[in-house]
């Protein structure tokens, strides 16, 4: 399943994750140029200019502020202006977690997965619950009369806004900030969808008509999903929802699974049944 990501700055189609955020080539280049040139802008109006694909060049000050608000990271910009390659960042692990930097899982991304598995005690669970974002509401798209297209556009908008929230939430996961910026971006790029859909599956348990609850005001049944070209997504999420119901997951277990979904997205470590049982026993409060 794949949805076309939109630029979180101007709404154009995103070419990928740049400086930590799904963005288009134009906004990527603008942000890079601004940081490398240490350019300061001033808005001629009230610093409230709308930034869209058509109007993104109208106010550079508001466009730059939108880049920062979307989560673009200054640290990701190479200051030497050399083309190609990636900025090298010193890899580090947060104080107190050095225990997990030796042995077969020596890569920082693997470390993050192990940190969450091994430290899934009351303190970590409480932290994850406190930092769990408030569910967003869907903004119904009224730009088309085609109901299927309207559903897809509404869902795309919701997922793009949830992605922005997810980036901020990920920084609260124990060990995440200790990764290099490149590893952080890699995990977000490969695991954002899985992390978000964990919540969708959990919210969809026991819902009448086997609907999927993407938001409090956005529930889609099988027919709506198929009409919007999301049949595969529907089947996968209903299968996951059924499993969650059998496991009778608690909120504490769900937030931990969400964190593990993101942490495990860039590794070759798999959650076998033994690990799952160990996790559930450790999380009982």
94 occurs within a structural domain: no
- Nearest alpha carbon to residue 254 among 125, 100, 69: 125
Q: Judge if 275 and 165 occupy the same domain.
A: yes
Tokens of 201: 């599956």
Beta bridge partners of 96: none
Same domain? For 170 and 251 the reply is yes
Domain end residue (candidates: 42, 58, 76): 76
Give the pTM: 0.53
- pLDDT, tens digit (0-9, with 9 covering 90-100), for 13-68: 888 878 877 889 999 999 999 999 999 999 988 888 999 999 999 999 999 999 98
Q: Considering its fold, how many domains does the chain have in total?
A: 2
Residues 57, 194, single domain; the answer is no
The answer on 277 and 145 residing in a single domain is yes
Residue 260, number of CB atoms within 10 A of its CB: 25
Contact 213, 135 (CB under 8 A): no
The answer on 275 and 164 residing in a single domain is yes
How confident is the model at residue 31, as a pLDDT? 95
The SS3 assignment for 260 reads helix
Distance CA 260, CA 55 (A): 39
Q: DSSP readout, 83-110?
A: -SS---------TT-GGGGSSS--SHHH
pLDDT in tens, 123-166: 667 777 777 888 889 888 777 788 888 888 888 888 888 888 88
In a domain, 201, yes or no: yes
Q: Tell whether 108 is covered by a domain.
A: no
200 domain residue, yes or no: yes
The answer to whether position 254 is within a domain reads yes
Nearest-angstrom CA–CA distance, 36 and 19: 13
The CATH number of the domain where 52 resides is what?
3.30.50.10
Q: Are residues 160 and 265 in the same domain?
A: yes
- What is the domain-level CATH number for residue 236? 1.10.565.10
Residue count (the chain): 285
Quote the domain boundaries for residue 183.
120-283
> For residue 185, what are its two tokens?
């971006």
Terminal C-alpha separation, the chain: 36
Rounded to an integer, the average pLDDT of 267-282 is 38
- Please enumerate in sequence order all residues whose Cβ is within 8 A of that of 62, keeping only pairs 6 or more positions apart, or say none: 43, 47, 48, 49, 51
- Per residue in 164-214, pLDDT (tens digit) is 888 888 887 777 777 777 778 888 887 888 888 888 999 998 888 889 999
In a domain, 98, yes or no: no
Looking at the structure, do residues 67 and 126 belong to the same domain, yes or no?
no
Cα separation, 156 vs 150, whole angstroms: 10
219 vs 212: CA distance, rounded Å: 5
Going 206 to 207 to 210 to 216, the CA torsion angle's sign is: negative
The verdict on 71 and 133 lying in the same domain is: no
- Shared-domain flag, residues 154 and 241: yes
Residue 113 lies in a domain: no
Distance CA 241, CA 199 (A): 10
Same domain? 212 vs 140: yes
Task: Based on the fold, state whether residues 133 and 209 are members of the same structural domain.
Answer: yes
Residues 153 and 206 in one domain: yes
């Amino acid at each position: 399943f794949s949805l076309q990501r939109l630029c979180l700055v101007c709404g154009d189609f995103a070419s990928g994750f740049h400086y930590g955020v799904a963005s288009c080539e134009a906004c990527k280049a603008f942000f890079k140029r601004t940081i490398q040139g240490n350019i300061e802008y001033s808005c001629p109006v009230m610093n409230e200019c709308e930034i869209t694909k058509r109007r993104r060049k109208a106010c550079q000050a508001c466009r730059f502020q939108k880049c920062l608000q979307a989560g673009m990271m200054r640290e990701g910009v190479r200051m030497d202006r050399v083309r190609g390659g990636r900025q090298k960042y010193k890899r580090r692990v947060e104080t107190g977690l050095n225990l997990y930097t030796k042995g077969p899982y020596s890569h920082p991304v693997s470390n993050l997965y192990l940190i969450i598995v091994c430290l899934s005690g009351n303190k970590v669970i409480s932290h994850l619950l406190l930092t769990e974002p408030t569910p967003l509401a869907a903004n119904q798209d009224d730009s088309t009369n085609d109901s299927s297209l309207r559903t897809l556009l509404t869902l795309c908008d919701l997922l793009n806004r949830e992605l922005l929230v997810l980036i901020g939430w990920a920084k609260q996961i124990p060990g995440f900030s200790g990764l290099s910026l490149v590893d952080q971006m890699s995990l977000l790029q490969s695991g954002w969808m899985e992390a978000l859909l964990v919540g969708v599956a959990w919210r969809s348990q026991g819902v009448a008509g086997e609907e999927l609850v993407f938001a409090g005001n956005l529930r889609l049944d099988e027919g709506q999903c198929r009409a919007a070209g999301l049949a595969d997504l529907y089947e996968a999420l209903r299968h996951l929802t059924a499993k969650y119901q059998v496991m009778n997951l608690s909120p504490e277990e769900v937030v931990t699974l969400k964190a593990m979904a993101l942490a495990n997205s860039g590794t070759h470590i798999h959650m076998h049944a033994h690990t799952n049982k160990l996790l559930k026993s450790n999380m009982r409060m």
